Amino acid sequence: MSERRPPTDTDDGTAGESLPDDGTVGERVPDGGMTDGGTTDGGTAHSDRTFVSGEHDADGHAFPSTSEIRRWLVTTNHKDVGILYVVTSLFFLLLGGVLALLIRVQLWAPRAVGETILNPAAYNQAVSAHGLLMVFWFLSPFAFGFANYVVPLQIGAKDLAFPRLNALSYWLYLASGLLFAVSFFQGGTFAGGWTMYAPLNVPTFMPDVGASTAVLALVLFVTSVTVSSVNFITTIHRMRAEGLTLRNLPLFTWTILLTVWMMLFAFAALLAALLILSSDRLLGTTYFALESPGGSLLWTHLFWFFGHPEVYIVFFPALGVMAETFQTFTGRRIVGRKWFIAAMILVALQSFVVWMHHMFLTSINLQIKTLFMVTTIGISLPFDLMVFALIYTMIKGRIRFTTPFLFTFGALLLFIIGGITGVFLGAVVLDYEFRGTYWVVAHFHYVMVGGVTALVGGLYYWFPKMTGRMYDEFLGKLHFGLYFVGFNLLYFPMFVAWQTPRRVFDYAPGLAPWHKLATIGGFVLAASFVVMFYNLTKSAFAGDPAEDNPWAYSTTAEWAIPSPPPLENFPGVPTYRDGTLSFRSDAPQLTAEADGGTAVGSTSSATPPAAYDAAREAHDEPASHASIWPLALSVGMFVLFFGLSGLRGGSFVSGAMGAVYLASSAVGGAVTFGSLLLWALEPFDAPAGGFGEAWPFAGVENGKVGMWVFLASDVVLFGGVIGAYVFTRVAFGWTGWEPIPTDPIPGLLNTYILLTSSFTVVLALVAAEKRSRMGVVASLVATFLLGVGFLVNKGIEWQHLFHEGLWLSTNVRSSTFFLTTGLHAAHVIVGLLITLFLVARAWRGAYLDDSQTVEYFGLYWHFVDIVWLFLFPLFYIL
Amino acid sequence: MLMGLRYVLSALALQSELIPRGSRTFVFQRIFVVFLVLGTLVGIVVITYMLYTAYRYRDGEDRADDGVDRPTLGELPSVGSGGGGRKLLPSFTLSVVIVISLISWTYGTLLFVEEGPSAEESMEVQVEGYQFGWEFTYENGHTTDGVLRVPAGEPVRLRVTSADVFHNFGVPELKVKTDAIPGQRTDTWFVANETGNYTAQCYELCGAGHSYMTADVVVMEPDEYREWYANTSNSSSAS
Ligand code: HEM
Ligand SMILES: [Cu+2]
Ligand SMILES: [Cu+2]
């Protein structure tokens, strides 16, 4: 579990620096200019102004300019990260798009045995990889490129709450995508569809190493998403400008806020599913094995509990882009804004109670079907309201059909068709026949690629802001024309040919003309993207310079600052105190850089909003916007996960490749661990929140909010794993299932040990507050020893079980026991590593002035203890 | 609550001619056509209105300043009012009414489909999917691979499961479909009114042979079927 490192970067970096005896911290950071502003000559920074004009951060120490590769490797700035996300996601669009075209070529005609272009196994891989790449590695990250770039600007923040974690999210995302790409070359990637149904997903039926790699790539991706959700949730709640209450939040930011909340919980459930699947594939547990009672259904529940919210997770940001652009390009404020927001909140909540509508043809009973039919229809209704709100917003407008609006207007049209065809699926009797056919394929492409259409509109909308240059309007319109024709030519025939079974290439010959049309449409759509890539690449370097605000009637804060915005975003502290945006010019180091060209005036104020710059004042040592550790950590995890993919049934595959995998795991593990350590020791400025609106976390610092939010996702992770146990046990027969440890005493002992260790953590905190160095050290050492005692005790217990012939793969009872308690033990190990780190720093006198780190660690540690309080009765007593 | 609702609706469904009942092909066609007609209609109305509005309020040089309060940069969303909301709730309500009545209407048929034919008036066949084919076992224990024979006009109940991975058994022309899940049994039924040959197909990705995982469904004259059935015994055959 080391990859789910709790977000503590505001404190680790700053806590000790003000202490005189802790001066070694700076020396520990390797040189190379990455982290130390003094090594680069500030004079070169202004040489390039293509993307970001303010290469100097407000402290005046240098940061590589955007024309240097190094800048993009070390940056933690949200605008840079946003651009990286957008560019990378478009790269994965190409990959997924090429696969889509291969699929369409195969479907040009029904393919009998021997007439295929891709062989059947390759076709299955293409379909599966296409779906996974498009949904995970293109659609969401594309949206999060904009979220990264725009959300801090819209809310008036200098950056996200945890800039290094943000960079980490990006690098983990890239690493996971590359890992997925590698999986194609390890005998073949995952071939069981993006839904990954069991038991086809286990090695018995899908033995290729590449299939394991694909699953691990997803795990890495989920890690990135979780880190990102924690970051955005903390940022949006804690770092809004004065006056920007949630009610007044711009709609794009609203959609992102709801998206990240859904992500936090949905992806935690997916992580539970994927960890169990990885364990089945790599360690040999038998959750999803053919013999497992309920294994198939267990997967469908776990997957769809994630899968349905995922539909809204990918769609909401698109909705946000539509709302913003409709307001801007019609010159009208959105109709029924309050209702629009209420409808979205309703959808976000309800999205977690509709998952079984994907399972109408399984053995669930009529009551449950009825219930899920009702919730499903219920969740579709708020969308009607949103659609009408968007349409009525146009009334009395001054509508300009510029490229961004063409795309979002087109997106609304596509979404209406997608929505209407979705109602068909909500009628269970019809769903019985549509399931597994091209009706579903057509419907979800209208909705999801409809969402992509809006996001492409967003790309054109924010392109001038992000690059400082205008795209070519004619080519933009041409792109839209080709896109819209291609899209409908591609997907509409799928409704007509709906009788075609999904993921099948040998269909009824009578449907061939429709499939031919669709294939032609696919190529037209692909061609439209060629136009876009040409236009945007050329314009990014040679387009006309863009004004600060190229769009009439736009309202949000990103348009009130230069295009592209300077590194520190605003010429003062943004505030809406007077009902409109202004920048308070009392923050001295910011006014010096203020750009006169903004459309909005500055006001001054007698009360400096200290928190806006609080982090900087906390210590004297220079720290910078740059950090290499997010990249290093991601490289480490990439190598580690690549190595782990070679595991099968708990040991590495035989032969030379086995040695490669083993070495790769070892190296990757070492790099991961080392980067984590150096990360923790690096001095780093994170912007503090609470300078404006911070509901509902006004009194809690960013670090603590982040920890809480992270733990909330961990609750769902354990919920998923424990739920899997309960589900399996019920399917097996609750009473016929005997606990694996015949002797509950070691477990009971461990319960006492953990409870005591929670107590010692509290003592450490008390000691820190009393400024007793020895007290802190002694309590933390006691915690560490108790934790070790827990693990040793568990080790002895497991060894006994092993000698009794019980191990991970023995049966499903032992699988659930070892995996669930093992996941908990992994949390304990992570906790102990952190404890060691804290002890080392406490020895040097850290945490006495600032006990936050100890407090956050305490939250984590108590949580791990509480989990054990659930596991003990479930696995030892009942 | 749910149960109560169910009984009320069943009672209504039984009395009313409104609720399509009959073979699964019939009920599907009925409901599908209604949805298609209404869906197309709603789609055309909404999209036409949307296009018309967009055209009507397009910007242009000739547009005079119409005195409308436009959004300004840096304003708070709650400062200006959106207006135009008067149409929002009525249209929303209308769409809610349409959707809910459509779905409730199909619910009666769902109850009918879920109920299925009784054991006396129908025959039962066990279906087992495997990579990559279908095996059928009749009531007398006779097992065939790849061919399902049934009498025309008589309800057939299927008990479906899988020997290996997740499959899905469906016969598109007969509008019958259900998951084939290892370790689980799912039930469904159909009536084939016309004799002839149909194709059953797998609807859940199950491996390399998925595209070709088909079986023949032979619908025979009832007499002919009975003659064939009488000659089968507790054994396997390929037909
Ligand atoms: C850009 C966003 C897109 C997204 C999010 C997306 C998503 C998906 C998903 C989730 C699947 C299901 C995969 C599975 O069954 O496991 C799928 C299948 C498919 N997609 Fe896409 N897709 C996108 C674009 C495209 C494009 C551009 C094309 C055609 C050129 C296309 C053609 C297909 C086809 C033919 C299938 C196979 C359907 C089947 O056999 O089940 N998709 N897509
Ligand atoms: Cu769903
Ligand atoms: Cu299949």
Domain boundaries, chain A: 72-560, 738-878
CATH of the domain at B159: 2.60.40.420
Which ligand 1 atom sits closest to the C-alpha of A193?
Answer: 16
B100 and B175 in a single domain? The answer is no
Note whether B64 contacts A: Cβ–Cβ < 8 A. Answer: no
User: What's the A286 CA to ligand 3 centre distance in angstroms?
Assistant: 22
**Chain B: residue nearest A365 by CA?**
B114
Q: Is the pLDDT of residue A191 over 90?
A: yes
Determine, yes or no, domain membership for B169.
Answer: yes
CA distance A496 to A474: 33
Q: What is the pLDDT of residues A350-385, one digit of tens each?
A: 999 999 999 999 988 899 999 999 999 999 999 999
Q: Which ligand is nearest to the CA of B167?
A: 3
Range of weakest confidence among A366-370, A693-697, A857-861, B83-87: B83-87
Is B158 in the same domain as B220?
A: yes
* Arithmetic mean of pLDDT, A447-458: 97
Co-location of B98 and B169 in the same domain = no
Q: Give a yes or no: residue B63 inside a domain.
A: no
Question: In this predicted structure, what is the pLDDT of residue A50?
Answer: 33
Report CA torsion sign: A129, A133, A135, A136: positive
B101 and B189 housed in the same domain:
no
Q: pLDDT band for position A732 (50/70/90)? A: very high
* Secondary structure class of A486 (helix, strand, coil): helix
- Taking 70 as the threshold, does the pLDDT of residue A164 lie above it? yes
Long-range (24+ apart) CB contacts under 8 A made by A601-610 are A602/A571, A602/A572, A603/A575, A603/A578, A609/A242, A609/A573, A609/A584, A609/A691, A609/A692, A610/A691
Res A612: pLDDT = 63
Which ligand has the minimum distance to the alpha carbon of residue A103?
1
Looking at the partner chain, which of B71, B100, B183 has a beta carbon nearest the beta carbon of A555? B71
Closest approach of A193 to chain B, Cα-based (Å) = 7
Cβ(A315)–Cβ(A451) below 8 Å: yes
* Residue-level pLDDT at B87: 87
Minimum-distance CB partner of B76 among A248, A327, A560: A248
Residue nearest to atom 40 of ligand 1 (CA): A503
| DSSP element (H, E) containing B190 | strand B186-191
Q: Are A676 and A192 in contact (CB under 8 A)?
A: no
Question: What integer pLDDT is reported at residue A39 of this predicted model?
Answer: 28
Determine which of A379, A390, A429 to mutate to test the interface with B (most B C-beta atoms within 10 Å): A429
- Say if residue A588's pLDDT is above 50: no
With a 6 A CB cut-off, is A440 part of the ligand 1 pocket?
no
Residue A55 above 70 pLDDT?
no
Residues of A in contact with B43 (CB under 8 A): 416-417, 420
Per the CB < 8 Å rule, is B75 touching A381? no
User: Does residue B110 sit in the same domain as residue B129?
Assistant: no
In angstroms, what is the span from residue B210 Cα to ligand 3's centroid?
4
- In terms of C-beta density within 10 A (0-12 exposed, 13-18 middle, 19 or more buried), how is residue A829 classed? middle
Contact between residue A508 and residue A110 where contact means Cβ atoms under 8 Å apart = yes
- Structural domain of B26: 1-55+92-115
B165 in Cβ contact with A199 (< 8 Å) = yes
Determine the Cα–Cα distance for residues A269 and A301; give it in Å rounded to an integer: 10
Mean pLDDT to the nearest integer, A30-55: 31
Residue A814 has pLDDT above 80, yes or no: yes
Interface of B with A in 13-52 (CB under 8 A): 27-28, 31-32, 35, 39, 42-43, 46-47, 49-50
Per-residue pLDDT, averaged over A394-399, amounts to 93
Token pair of A142, please?
């594309």
Q: Is residue B72 part of a domain?
A: no
pLDDT digits (tens, 9 = 90+) for A197-215: 999 999 999 999 999 999 9
Which has the minimum average pLDDT: A421-435, A563-577, B14-28?
B14-28
Cα nearest neighbour of B201 on chain A: A501
Lowest mean pLDDT among A101-105, A737-741, A795-799, A861-865: A737-741
The pLDDT value recorded for residue A201 is 96
- Report the pLDDT value the prediction gives residue A18, as an integer from 0 to 100: 32
Q: Which residues are registered as beta bridge partners of B216?
A: B147, B199
In angstroms and rounded to an integer, the radius of gyration of the C-alpha atoms of chain B is 27
**For the segment A638-650, what is each residue's pLDDT rounded down to a tens digit?**
999 999 999 999 9
- Name the E strands within A223-335: none
What is the pLDDT confidence band of residue A837, given thresholds at 50, 70 and 90?
A: very high
Ligand nearest to the CA of A100: 1
Q: Which one of A90, A118, A130 would you pick to mutate in the ligand 1 pocket, going by the greatest count of ligand atoms within 8 A of its CB?
A: A130
Q: What confidence tier does A27 reach under pLDDT thresholds 50, 70, 90?
A: very low
pLDDT in tens, A491-546: 999 999 999 999 999 999 999 999 999 999 999 999 999 999 999 999 999 999 99
Query: Domain boundary residue among B82, B115, B148?
Result: B115
The pLDDT score that the predictor gives to residue B15 is 56
Closest C-alpha residue for ligand 1 atom 30: A522
Looking at domain A738-878, what is its CATH homologous superfamily? Cytochrome c oxidase, subunit III, four-helix bundle (1.20.120.80)
B111 and B175 both lie in a single domain: no
Predicted local distance difference test score (pLDDT) of residue A501: 96
Above 60 in pLDDT, residue A224?
A: yes
The strand pair at B155-162 and B133-137 is best described as unpaired
Contacts with A407 from chain B: Cβ below 8 Å: none
- Which tens digit of pLDDT belongs to each residue from A96-144? 999 999 999 999 999 998 889 999 999 999 999 999 999 999 999 999 9
User: What are the backbone angles phi and psi of residue A78, rounded to the nearest 5°?
Assistant: -60, -30
Residues 6+ apart with CB under 8 A from A803: none
Most B CBs within 10 Å: which of A118, A208, A244, A333, as the mutation test of the B interface?
Answer: A333
B96 and B158 both lie in a single domain:
no
Cβ-based neighbour number of residue A2 at 10 Å: 16
Alpha helices (H) along B66-178: 88-115
Q: Which fold has domain A72-560?
A: Cytochrome C Oxidase; Chain A (1.20.210)
Question: Would you place residue A689 in the very low, low, confident or very high pLDDT band (cuts 50, 70, 90)?
Answer: confident
Q: When comparing pLDDT for A709 and A61, which is higher?
A: A709
Residue of B nearest to A327 (CA): B71
pLDDT at A624 over 80: no
Ligand 1 geometric centre to CA of A421 (Å): 17
Please answer whether residues A323 and A233 qualify as being in contact, where contact means their C-beta atoms are separated by less than 8 angstroms.
no
Partners of A602 in the beta sheet? Answer: A583
pLDDT in tens, A253-279: 999 999 999 999 999 999 999 999 999
**pLDDT one digit per residue (tens) for chain B, 239 residues:** 455 555 665 655 555 667 788 888 888 999 999 999 999 999 999 999 999 999 999 998 777 777 888 899 999 987 655 566 788 889 999 999 999 998 888 998 899 888 888 888 899 999 999 999 999 999 999 999 999 999 999 999 999 999 999 999 999 999 999 999 999 999 999 999 999 999 999 999 999 999 999 999 999 999 999 999 998 876 666 55
pLDDT of residue A582: 93
Q: Is residue A649 packed enough to be buried (19+ CB in 10 Å), middle (13-18) or exposed (0-12)?
A: middle
- pLDDT value for B154: 93
Which residues in A lie closer than 8 A to residue B185 (C-beta atoms)?
A: 363
Instruction: Looking at the structure, tell me whether residues B172 and B206 fall in a common domain.
Output: yes
Question: How far is ligand 2, taken at its centre, from the CA of residue A310, in Å?
Answer: 8
| Residue A851: per-residue pLDDT | 87
The structure tokens listed for A240 are: 């809004």
- Tokens 């109408």 found at: A360
Last-in-domain residue among B63, B83, B115: B115
Give pLDDT, residue A836.
94
Q: Any chain A CB within 8 A of the CB of B205?
A: yes
A339 vs A389: CA distance, rounded Å: 9
Whether the pLDDT of residue A36 is over 80: the answer is no
Q: Has residue A848 got a pLDDT over 50?
A: yes
To the nearest 10 degrees (0 to 180), the angle between helices B88-115 and B2-15 is 80
CA distance A15 to A615: 11
CA of B1 to the centre of ligand 2 (A): 25
The shortest C-alpha distance from B175 to chain A (Å) reads 6
In a domain, residue B173? The reply is yes
Per DSSP bridges, beta strands B214-220 and B133-137 are unpaired
Distance (Å) from the alpha carbon of B115 to chain A's nearest alpha carbon: 10
Q: Rounded mean pLDDT of chain A?
A: 88
Q: Are residues B101 and B178 located together in one domain of the fold? A: no
pLDDT, mean of residues A787-795: 96
What is the average pLDDT across A854-874?
Answer: 95
Pick from A424, A436, A559: which is nearest to B39 by CB?
A: A424
In the numeric block, the tokens 């066990």 are attached to B126
Residue B169 and residue B102 share a domain: no
- Percent share of chain A, pLDDT over 90: 79
Long-range contacts (CB closer than 8 Å, 24 or more residues apart) made by A835-838:
A835/A780, A835/A783, A835/A784, A835/A787, A836/A784, A837/A677, A837/A680, A838/A780
Supply B141's token pair.
């224990």
Residues 117 through 176 of chain B touching chain A, CB cutoff 8 Å: 131, 164-166, 168, 170, 172, 175
Partner residue opposite B35 with nearest CB, options A327, A328, A430: A430
Q: Give the ligand 1 atom nearest the CA of A128.
A: 16
In chain B, how many domains are there? 2
Q: How confident is the model at residue A46 (pLDDT cuts 50, 70, 90)?
A: very low
Ligand 1 neighbourhood includes A46 CB (under 6 angstroms): no
Q: Are residues B111 and B127 in the same domain?
A: no
Q: How many CA atoms lie within 13 A of A182 on its CB side?
A: 20
Looking at the CA of B206, which ligand is closest? Answer: 3
Residue A25 clears pLDDT 50, i.e. is over it: no
